[in-house]
Chains A and B, each alone.
Chain A
């Protein structure tokens, strides 16, 4: 099954194609099919590939490049679900192609083993020499790597305030075992891959989550890059469960409370607004929360959301993205939508979300469900969780 949308102006165009790929064998054909649909015989400047972890990303890449051309800059990753227009779910390959004379693209990749900051800087080095009036750096990285703040810091140190940072963490359909990244024809693990986008027309970014604070603030009294160890000087898990109303003595066998814990992210108050951090695991042994990028000394709130409030976040992201295009209509949009939102919305909610995006944006939408999002258009921070980030090209 192929779904095709091509939109564009005389100068720029964005195409989104997708195909089903539920096992390794289907990878190459699905790649070729989705790419053919996205490219439509044109000559793309950049091809983005978001592939289900159930298929072989290397095979997908071969198919995509056979169709899009072996020299076309290609970037991609595995996902926790794929988005292509109104088609939302698992087991797909989605290809987003962009092209036209007003665009300038360069790509790079870096190994997180060299340290997240160094990797962020190295990936961002592809911005060098891009001097179009509107610039963005798209980053895809191993979503199981905790401590993204350093990746963003590294990228910001090279890109600077004049470049929007946007992107998402590669997923593996919540298996939490391994993710893959794609740069050209190379399939990478534990990596950051990046595309520098320079455009003559505006590039818009929108962010929305729809979570709201519950109760009184709590101080993070001890934390590492990956974990919160204590809240208000008590073991973090005990304090967290108590705030959620759990009875004393909840242990690892209590599935209800474990799931409830995972569906409540933490909100960090920041001068520019609120940032959300997902709690991606709880450690009953150490009584800690697996929740990264929350510095010691930060004040946090437990956040609550339902399908309705989270869907409101979708609208906020659309409005913000359109506003940042300054009245120019988008020719296409890339969506980085958190896997936590997909969980909370359920199949009906995600279908509704796809409708909202398509209606409000009036342009082809392609993207994936992420493990963490990146968006920086002002200030110098850009780490998000449980959030929808939209990148629109005019």
Chain B
């Protein structure tokens, strides 16, 4: 045994080196089980992580006795292992998350103490290695996800470019053969297949189709599997099909079908265009509105961009998207919806000069091309006119219909590469306009593109923020304005990204809602806050915790159950918790939200309306909903000046009065000066929060703050 003892540091190095060389946790555990059994000349080696048998050697191809192995506790002993027999066993554990054990079993003799010490070292090393590997695996997964997103973006960009090329060929009346080749080649490239054929009925020789194809290996058999087919029309009549042979060893997915259809539509366009001028006109115009379609618009835009002109901002594109069209269309019916679109087209045209182009891109998307738009103001003026024109009520099928328009504007500046880039810029600006609150216009600035990329980055990072421990909760005390004593605490979510730094909740919460991560984040924050509340209430049982919840959370039918479970877990009564909701939620969600709130109220939980006064909640909603508190938005508090004669406290006064009448508390947010506090108190507002009293603070400082602010435990 002297040897074993002398050698243990080297054996440990040998073991850890070999285990750490593995790429994933499973193979590291496998290697550890194997090497440990070899090091101790044992028949059996096993690794248990959590309560699960991760790896075992010694049982051959028979299933290892997982239960017996998992039952072996750290230390030395004897165990009966199926397939091996009664064996001496030694086990050593590690505590890193997740905890685990390394087990060896030997038939012919027991384990000496120094062997057990070596096993302990190995187990610790394995625990560390598994944790490191897990971190690396997470890192690798994230990198792969980034890569995938980048590739998807590039793929979409490629599709756009190829389609634009084809559209350009069609609009420039390139030879038909050339256009059709471009279509089959483009489809083959994007689908990643060997062969795409265009099969057409030949009017002169029925029964013998004309076939145009690409990359066709002469006589080579097509791979097995179902081909993908998309119809091609000439003048609206079926005239043939675009056929893609299945990819080598693969199958098509629905996205492939859409893609082939897009190419088939272009083939239809080209063929129709080639047949007659009439057909060409049809092919380039929107059937419903008679406006130019995207292809014609793009062609004209290309020409406008290519034409040499003096001065900047000669070309401008407006991207017009109707607001609420889908809802209107659903309620008035599709035929009436079509009529509405025709009427919108007419109003847009009415805002333009001769020579400007208005086009419909499909659905409720329109575009306007302004040439010779000499100043920025003129494109923006046209946009304002269009918004105004569309906003006016429409009379459709005897009903009054209201829609709106959001418009993105982009200019053909020196920096713009081509039509597609200009259109994309206008599209991005349109989304910005929508975000700013429908019925508006926005002009493209490069920061919008950056914002899109940043958002993609944030989305990815946010998916794993909870798991990586990047989120935290800070606490801002709520006080009684009369004496400044604390009454409660508001929990505020913070995200610290390793490279982006602190990301504001106003930035990341909407993203979390969009990508469906808000549920997990909200649950986590609620749990943190309740844990903190339970701790703080041991000495201050009167303390209440306020937690912000998003509309998405409230919409989840499970939400009241989750709240109840969290309260139970931390031993909190319902009245210890206030849930803060935004007032817009009452309006947007009011049907379902009412039922949800009543279930929450049944738990004893209070409901506060956050940022009150900034939205447009009607009194009617306030009456319907079981709201306990109104929080006065900081913007109104800021308007209260130091001098009572100068400031504007009309809004605050109204809200406080409203609260009094409806029997709700009012709490002022963002109080920064003693004058504001005094004025609020004079107006009848009894509670508040803000830097004047305390800034939001991390959990570990909250207790100390409470101690100095309210040293006496009031309940005592």
Contact = CB atoms under 8 A, between A and B. Distances in A.
A380 B37 contact: yes
A155 to B, nearest CB: 9
Nearest to B60: A160
A219 interface: yes
Interface in B7-60: 7, 10-15, 17-18, 34, 37-45, 57-60
Given A160-B60, A161-B59, A161-B107, A296 B14 contact: yes
Nearest to B87: A161
A160 B18 contact: no
B57 A156 contact: yes
Given A157-B60, A160-B58, A160-B83, A381 B11 contact: no
Contacts of A219: 10
B697 interface: no
A299 B34 CA distance: 19
Contacts of A160: 58-62, 83-84
9 contacts: A156-B57, A161-B58, A162-B83, A219-B10, A269-B3, A271-B4, A271-B39, A271-B41, A380-B58
B108 interface: yes
Contacts of A158: 60-61
A153 B108 CA distance: 20
A243 interface: no
Contacts of B83: 160-162
| Most interface-central of A127, A128, A161 (chain B CB within 10 A) | A161
A297 interface: yes
B4 to A, nearest CB: 5
A162 B84 CA distance: 6
A297 B14 contact: yes
B60 A162 contact: yes
B388 interface: no
A297 B34 CA distance: 17
A41 interface: no
A128 B61 contact: yes
Given A297-B14, A380-B34, 8 more contacts: A156-B58, A156-B60, A160-B59, A161-B58, A269-B3, A270-B41, A299-B3, A299-B6
A299 B7 contact: yes
A328 interface: no
A297 B10 contact: yes
A329 interface: no
A295 B14 contact: yes
Interface in B50-83: 57-62, 83
A379 B43 contact: yes
Interface in B81-118: 83-84, 106-108, 115
A297 B43 CA distance: 22
A159 interface: yes
A157 B41 CA distance: 15
A393 to B, nearest CB: 21
A272 interface: yes
A297 B60 contact: no
A225 to B, nearest CB: 12
B44 A161 contact: yes
| Most interface-central of A162, A270, A296, A380 (chain B CB within 10 A) | A380
A116 B608 CA distance: 68
Nearest to B15: A297
Interface string A159-184: 11111000000000000000000000
A2 to B, nearest CB: 40
Interface in A209-225: 217, 219
Nearest to B37: A380
A295 B10 CA distance: 10
A29 B11 CA distance: 53
A269 B10 CA distance: 12
Interface in A229-280: 269-273
Contacts of A270: 41
Contacts of A269: 3-4, 7
A379 B43 CA distance: 4
Contacts of B17: 296-297
A380 B12 CA distance: 18
B43 A272 contact: no
A381 B39 CA distance: 9
A271 B57 contact: no
A161 B115 contact: no
A137 to B, nearest CB: 10
Interface string A298-311: 11000000000000
Contacts of B13: 296-297
Nearest to B64: A160
A219 B106 CA distance: 27
B107 to A, nearest CB: 6
Given A127-B60, A157-B60, A162-B84, A380 B14 contact: no
> Shortest 10 CB-CB distances between A and B: which pairs?
A160-B60, A272-B41, A297-B14, A379-B41, A161-B43, A269-B3, A297-B13, A380-B37, A271-B41, A297-B10
Contacts of B3: 269, 299
B116 to A, nearest CB: 12
A360 interface: no
Nearest to B16: A297
A295 B19 CA distance: 13
Contact of B115 (A128, A271, A273): A271
A381 B38 CA distance: 6
A378 B60 contact: no
A270 B1 CA distance: 10
A386 to B, nearest CB: 19
Contacts of B39: 271
Contact of B108 (A125, A159, A378): A378
Interface in A127-150: 127-128
